[in-house]
Amino acid sequence: MKKFRFRCMNCSRLYEENDVEYTCPQCGTRLGTLETLYDFDNISIKKSDFDSCSDIWQFEALLPVSAKSFRVNLKIGTTPLYRFENLSGVKEVQIKYDGTTPTASFKDRATVIAVNRAVEKNYSSIYCASTGNAAASLAGLSAAAGLKAYIFIPSKAPAAKIAQLMVYNAMILAIDSDYDTAFDLSMKIGEEKNWYCRNSAVNPYLIEGKKTAAMEICVQTEFDPPDTVVVPVGDGTVISSFYKGFSDFYNAGIIKKIPQLIGVQASGANSLELAFKKGEPFWPVDFSGKTIADSINVGKPRDFLKACTYIKKSKGDLISVTDDEILSAQKELASSTGIFSEPAGAASYAALKKLVHENRIEKSSRVCLAVTGNGLKDISAVSSCKTVEHLKPDVQDIKEYLDFKETYGDESYDEN
C-alpha cells in the first residue's frame, strides 16, 4: 500500500493519491470532503522521534508529503505551549499560541503543505478564499516559494491582513460581500483558471498540516495530552485538524487517549453549533454570520461534516460566546498572561470562562486553549474601545494626569 489514501467523509469510498485532487467526485464539494488514511501497519514511529524544537517536518511520517519534496524556507511549527495554574479557577490551563508563525496565525500549518503540493505538481499559481488569516498565510508562503497567489477576501477584512497581502505582492480580489460568497466565487474562477486550490475543507492536504498543532501538544506534554481542548470554529477545519492529529498519534500508538474537543463559535455565526445540536445525520444549517471575530465569521461552514463527526467521536461539544464575551476575554487574557490574541483566538478563553461559570468543566481537569492568531492582525476592536488622551510635554501636567487616572481609573480626563 502507498503511504496514504483518501476516504470520503460522506460515502466512505476510497481513493488513491492520484485518483482525486480535492473532494469526492460522487458527493461533491460540500459533502464529499476527504480524510487521509495512513497505513499504520507500515508506519514505525516512536515518541523519541519527536522534540519540542523542530518544525512540522518532524512529523513527515504522518504527512502526505515525500521526504525529498519542496519545503519553504520559513520555520513553521513548534509554537509555544504555555501553562498556567488556576486561570479561571481551572487547575491547569495550557495555551497553544500560534501567533508566532511566519504570518502570525495557525493557517501557516495548512499553507505550508498546500505550497509543497502546488510546487510538486508544477503549478505556478495558487488561490484561496479567506476571512483573512489563510489569505495572509497563502500570500506570505507563496512569496517565499515563488508562487503567484490569488486571494479572494471580503473587502471588510482587517487592515493588517490586507497589508500583509499587499506587501507579499499577492493579487488581491477584495469582494464587496462576505466570506461565503468570496469562497463560491473563488471556486468558480480558480477551477476555470486551473490554479491550485488552497480552500479550506476542499483541499484534503490542508488539515494534514493543521493537525501538527495537536501533535506538538502531545510532544510538549510528554505525550500526556490535556483532558479537553477548546478550539475556535469557523469552517470547522481547525477543530477537525485537532482531532486528526490526536487520532493519528493514537492510532500510531504514541498517545493513550484522545482529548475531548470543545468547539467555540461566535453567537452571531454559530451555524456549526446548530448543525451539531440537530444531531446525525449531520446536515448544514447555513445563514449569514455576523461577528467581530472575523476569522470565525462564517455562515456556511465548509467542513461541517468532518467537524461534527470528529467532535462527536471525541465526546465533545460546540458552544457559542457573544462578541462582548470575546472582547472581554481578549483583554483579560492579554492583561493577565501577556498573550495578545486576535478576537477569534480569544474566543477559546471566553469559552473556558463560560464552561467554568456553568460548571460544565471539572476544575481539576487539564484544559488546552487554542489561540490561533496574533492580536496584531486585527487591532480595531482594541483600538475602538477607548481613546488615548494626548498630553502636553510638561512634567506638572503629566503628574496631574497620573494622579487623576490613579484615582478615577478609566474615566476620561479633562485637563481644563
- Binders of its own copies in range 144-163 (CB under 8 A): 144-145, 150, 155, 159-160, 162-163
Q: Which is nearer to its own copies, 257 or 399 (CB)?
A: 399
Q: Restricting to residues 46-65, which ones interact with its own copies according to CB under 8 A?
A: 51-53
Q: Which is nearer to its own copies, 129 or 285 (CB)?
A: 129
Adjacent-strand bridge partners of 96: 81, 370
**Burial grade of 59 (CB within 10 A; 0-12, 13-18, 19 or more):** buried
Q: Among 13, 75, 91, 312, which residue sits at the site for its own copies (rule: CB under 8 A)?
A: 75
Q: How far is the CB of 401 from its own copies (least distance, A)?
A: 7
The verdict on 401 binding its own copies (CB under 8 A) reads yes
The verdict on 388 binding its own copies (CB under 8 A) reads yes
- Compose the 78-97 pattern: x for residues touching its own copies by CB under 8 A, - for all others: --x-xxx-------------
Other beta carbons less than 10 A from residue 70's beta carbon: 13
In terms of DSSP bridges, do strands 81-87 and 90-97 run parallel, antiparallel, or are they unpaired?
antiparallel
d(CA 25, CA 5): 15
Q: Which region among 58-66, 261-269, 282-290, 397-405 touches its own copies (by CB under 8 A)?
A: 397-405
Q: Which residue has the cell 497505513?
A: 39
Q: How far is the CB of 37 from its own copies (least distance, A)?
A: 32
Q: Restricting to residues 241-260, which ones interact with its own copies according to CB under 8 A?
A: none
Q: Restricting to residues 269-308, which ones interact with its own copies according to CB under 8 A?
A: none
Q: How far is the CB of 86 from its own copies (least distance, A)?
A: 13
The verdict on 73 binding its own copies (CB under 8 A) reads yes
d(CA 373, CA 42): 36
d(CA 131, CA 300): 12
Adjacent-strand bridge partners of 229: 261, 368
Q: Restricting to residues 322-381, which ones interact with its own copies according to CB under 8 A?
A: 330-331, 334-340, 374-377, 379
The verdict on 123 binding its own copies (CB under 8 A) reads no
Q: How far is the CB of 223 from its own copies (least distance, A)?
A: 18
Q: Which is nearer to its own copies, 31 or 128 (CB)?
A: 128
Cell of 78: 513548534
The verdict on 405 binding its own copies (CB under 8 A) reads yes
Q: Among 67, 188, 407, 414, which residue sits at the site for its own copies (rule: CB under 8 A)?
A: 188
The CA-to-CA distance between both ends of the chain, in Å, stands at 79
The SS3 call for residue 75 is: coil
| Number of residues counted as binding its own copies (CB under 8 A) | 74
- Which residues have CB under 8 Å from 120's CB, separation 6+? 65, 69, 70
Rounded CA Rg of the chain? 22
Asked whether the beta carbons of 213 and 252 are under 8 A apart, the reply is no
The verdict on 14 binding its own copies (CB under 8 A) reads no
One DSSP character per residue, 22-65 reads: SS-TTTHHHH--EEEEE-GGG----GGG--SSS-GGGGGGGSSS
Closest-CA residue to 175 (of 206, 139, 132, 136): 132
Q: How far is the CB of 108 from its own copies (least distance, A)?
A: 10
Q: How far is the CB of 373 from its own copies (least distance, A)?
A: 11
Query: How many residues would you count in the chain?
Result: 416
Q: Which region among 171-179, 232-240, 252-260, 284-292 touches its own copies (by CB under 8 A)?
A: 171-179
